């Protein structure tokens, strides 16, 4: 397990990269927002401070992606979505579902009728997060006793007792399915890992580690997926694979505005949703922070942050 800590300069540049990527992802937001964001970025650069977004829409769609409905118009139903959001908030008032991303390392404790102590804890790296509303789910992967194990959890499952983020970070790709074909050291995490605390106000760090794949056969054709987090993909390819990759490329898709539009929720809809849930989410956040601070004061740990 290798943790690459970057210097503060690097973190700044990474933050900028994330910003840029955000702009691209939110295709439906009018350009004004982007311009405003850029201006903010420049202000940040000038003042030399790291600050998070003030606009809740821009921040919350990454922190709470499951609050946005599926963009497919066939599956939209405003009443159902509203009820689901209410249920999600109710569940969130019961347990703390923290902010995490694909690539973060989580520990999930569930109450398991099959286990001896009636609880079951699993530690692993989040390789996939998908679904919206109450159907939101994520997959954790770990290598236990030299055996790769993956467990899928639903985020709003009532049997989940706690979700703990042991290391909050992002990776270079949106899905980490290639870890299944990577060398086992890249997804081996000890079950008794200690949570790493980030100082407050820092942006989520990006882990630029590039994994090494095992030789073929692979589970998928990774060479066609334009992965950034794999270093040795070219070693394993034959001439035939390279030719086919060239033939299968779709370079025009980044210009397909309609395709992007269909994949995203328009900014107007988003503001409606976020205005509905923002207050409660913010309240929960603040109260959780207070609670954790209290706990910190009662049991001070050495070397925080």
Partner 1 sequence: MFRSLINRLSSAQTCGIHTTPSLNEVRLLTRLRVVDNSEIGKRAMAEGKPPKVICVYNKKRVGLIGDRVMVAIKGQKKKGILVGLKQNQKVKVPKFDSNNIVLIDDNGTPLGTRIHVPIPTILRTILKERTHAKGADYTKLLGIATRFV
Given the complex with partner 1, which of 182 and 204 has the nearer CB atom?
182
* Closest distance to partner 1 from the beta carbon of 99 (Å): 22
Given the complex with partner 1, which of 94 and 116 has the nearer CB atom?
116
β-bridge partners, 163: 108
The site for partner 1 (CB under 8 A) is made up of 110, 112-116, 120, 122, 137, 144-154, 157, 159, 180, 219-220, 243-244, 247
* Closest distance to partner 1 from the beta carbon of 180 (Å): 7
* Closest distance to partner 1 from the beta carbon of 227 (Å): 17
Given the complex with partner 1, which of 106 and 265 has the nearer CB atom?
106
Given the complex with partner 1, which of 49 and 240 has the nearer CB atom?
240
Q: Return left, alpha or beta for 282; rule: phi > 0 is left, psi -120 to 50 is alpha, else beta.
A: alpha
157 within 8 A of 110, measured Cβ to Cβ: yes
CB neighbour burial string for 108-125, b if at least 16 within 10 angstroms, e if fewer:
bebeeeeeeeeebbbbbb
Residue 51 neighbours by CB distance under 10 Å:
13
Given the complex with partner 1, which of 74 and 152 has the nearer CB atom?
152
Nearby residues of 196 by Cβ (< 8 Å), 6 or more positions away? 166, 167, 168
How, if at all, do strands 160-167 and 105-111 pair? antiparallel
CB neighbour burial string for 191-206, b if at least 16 within 10 angstroms, e if fewer:
eeeeeeeeeeeebbbb
Given the complex with partner 1, which of 27 and 188 has the nearer CB atom?
188
* SS3 category, 182: strand
β-bridge partners, 230: 211
Which DSSP category does 194 fall into? P
């Amino acid at each position: 397990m290798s943790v690459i800590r970057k210097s503060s300069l690097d973190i700044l540049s990474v933050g900028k990269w994330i910003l840029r990527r955000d702009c691209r992802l939110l295709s439906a937001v009018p350009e004004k927002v982007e311009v405003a964001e850029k201006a903010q970025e420049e202000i940040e650069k000038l003042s030399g401070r790291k600050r998070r977004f003030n606009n809740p829409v821009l921040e919350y769609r990454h922190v709470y992606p499951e609050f946005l409905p599926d963009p497919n118009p066939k599956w939209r139903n405003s009443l159902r979505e509203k009820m689901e959001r209410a249920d999600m908030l109710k569940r969130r008032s019961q347990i703390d579902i923290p902010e995490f991303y694909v690539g973060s390392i989580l520990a999930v404790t569930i109450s398991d009728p099959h286990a001896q102590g009636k609880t079951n804890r699993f530690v692993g790296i989040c390789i996939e997060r998908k679904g919206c509303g109450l159907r939101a789910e994520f997959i954790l992967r770990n290598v236990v006793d030299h055996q790769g194990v993956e467990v899928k959890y639903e985020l709003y499952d009532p049997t989940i007792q706690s979700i703990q983020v042991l290391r909050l970070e992002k990776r270079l790709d949106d899905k980490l399915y290639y870890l299944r074909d990577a060398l086992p050291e890249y997804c081996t995490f000890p079950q008794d890992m200690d949570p790493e605390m980030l100082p407050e106000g820092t942006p989520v760090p990006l882990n630029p580690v590039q994994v090494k794949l095992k030789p073929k056969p692979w589970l998928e054709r990774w060479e066609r997926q334009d992965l950034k987090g794999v270093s040795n993909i070219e070693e394993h390819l034959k001439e035939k694979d390279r030719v086919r990759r060239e033939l299968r490329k779709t370079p025009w898709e980044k210009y397909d505005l309609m395709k992007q539009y269909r994949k995203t929720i328009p900014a107007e809809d988003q503001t409606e949703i976020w205005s509905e849930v923002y207050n409660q989410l913010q309240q929960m956040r603040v109260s959780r922070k207070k609670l954790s601070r209290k706990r910190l004061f009662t049991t001070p740990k050495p070397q925080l942050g």
